[in-house]
Amino acid sequence: MGGPADPPEGTPEGGPGGGGGSDDEYRSVVFDESFVRAARLQEFSAQERITDHAPAVRRTPALRRGLTRQAVILVVMIVLAFGTAIYMGIRSPYRTTQVARHTEPLRMTVIPLAPSGKVPGADSTAELYRHSPAAQFHIAADGIALPTIRRTAHFSDSQVVTALTTAKDYLVDSSLDPDVLKGATQRPVRQLVDPQQLDQFDQSFDKPAADGRHAATGWLVRFDPAEAALADDHIRVTGTLHVAETDADTLEVTSDHTFVYALRPVDKPDAAASLFTVRRELHFRFDRDDLRNHQAELMVSYLQAGPLSCSTDSATHLHPLLAGRRATQDGPAGTDPYATGSATALCGALAPSAQPSV
């Protein structure tokens, strides 16, 4: 019989005090029916998980099509900034702009120098040079030396070098090229002339005239091919080159050189040779287009040459007096000083010291 505190039917099997002493600690835990019903487990099907419940990962909202107002403003500001930069670059007061300038025609002077007596000659050209003022001159292009190169306020070292080398190339092609000297071609010289002067250049060879504008010998040195030929290719040369900036867009180069040629008669290759002297002073002008194109504008050409007869026409070719010959006594060709557009004929005397003492 059970004790007074036990249920009438006795202690349940496995209950506290009924042989299950180890479960006495859970005696105070009581679950009512509502709690049990709420705590029942339910597993959702796959379809239920898709349709009835929010996904574990939240979707990001789709991007709006088109540009936002901030993006449009940013694009407009960038366009305005670029436009302003381009405008300021064009209108900048510090930007150097080249003003188009009309090229003036070349002004030229050709002065024959007449000998006072018979032109000296010798069989050996070396002997001729040795007994003349040209004994210490350099040979050919070596006598056309460039000065010390210094940049100017508006032109770099390389631009100054370009101006000087172009002037030197012109002197070499127009004074030392054998084909040019014998009148076979003028193309190497023409290629170095500013395009705006080409009409004057071409007219000087098509219709040469002693008018101070259209003498072929104002552009280059050439001998009458029917009279004289080089006796020695080693032409003697001396002189100077000077460069200066005249304005922000212009360089000017002045050349002053003396060329001494040994000549013989064309039809007598065994005849005695004689010396012929040409003094050339040229003024070149270079704008930035000329420097880029390796061309030059010629402003002034001043040439003295002898021995020549004063009455000889020197506009087309130079007609040297060769060994043993004398100048005519009729003086320079007559010129009408009242005729506009023509130059007054000039003639000088070739000093005896300018000839070899042989």
**What distance in Å separates the CA atoms of residue 281 and residue 170, rounded to the nearest whole number?**
12
Q: Tell me the backbone φ, ψ of residue 181, rounded to 5 degrees.
A: -65, -35
pLDDT value at residue 93: 45
The whole-chain average pLDDT of the chain stands at 83
Which pLDDT belongs to residue 218?
A: 97
User: Using an 8 Å Cβ cutoff, are 282 and 254 in contact?
Assistant: yes
- Quick one: pLDDT at residue 68? 77
pLDDT (mean) for 258-272: 94
Residue 37: is its pLDDT beyond 50?
A: yes
108/17: higher pLDDT: 108
According to the model, what pLDDT value does residue 95 have? 43
pLDDT value for 358? 73
How high is the pLDDT of residue 308?
96
pLDDT exceeds 70 at position 244: yes
In the predicted structure, residue 341 carries a pLDDT above the cut 70: no
What's the pLDDT at 357? Answer: 83
pLDDT band at 72 (very low <50, low <70, confident <90, very high): confident
What is the amino acid identity at position 355?
A: Q
Cβ count near 352 (within 10 Å)? 11
pLDDT of amino acid 94: 39
Total Cβ atoms within 10 A of residue 217: 23
Which carries the bigger pLDDT value, residue 100 or residue 218?
218
Rg for the chain, CA atoms, rounded: 52
List Cβ neighbours of 140 (8 Å cut-off, separation of 6 or more).
172, 176, 234, 235, 237
Q: Which pLDDT value is given to residue 96?
A: 45
Tell me the per-residue pLDDT of 129-171, one tens digit each, with 9 for 90 and over. Answer: 999 999 999 999 999 999 999 999 999 999 999 999 999 999 9
pLDDT one-digit tens code per residue, 88-134: 655 544 344 445 567 899 999 999 999 999 999 999 999 999 999 99
pLDDT of residue 50: 60
83-97, 222-236, 252-266, range with the lowest pLDDT: 83-97
Task: State the virtual CA torsion across 240, 241, 246, 247 in degrees, nearest 10.
Answer: -160
More confident residue, 286 or 86: 286
Confidence (pLDDT) at 81? 83
Q: Percent of the chain at pLDDT above 70?
A: 73
pLDDT tier at 83, thresholds 50, 70, 90: confident
Residue with tokens 């049990």: 36
State what percent of residues in the chain have pLDDT above 90. Answer: 61
pLDDT for 36 equals 58
Q: What does the alpha-carbon distance between residue 94 and residue 262 come to, in Å, rounded to a whole number?
A: 55
Q: Determine the pLDDT at residue 40.
A: 56
Q: Is the pLDDT of residue 35 over 90?
A: no
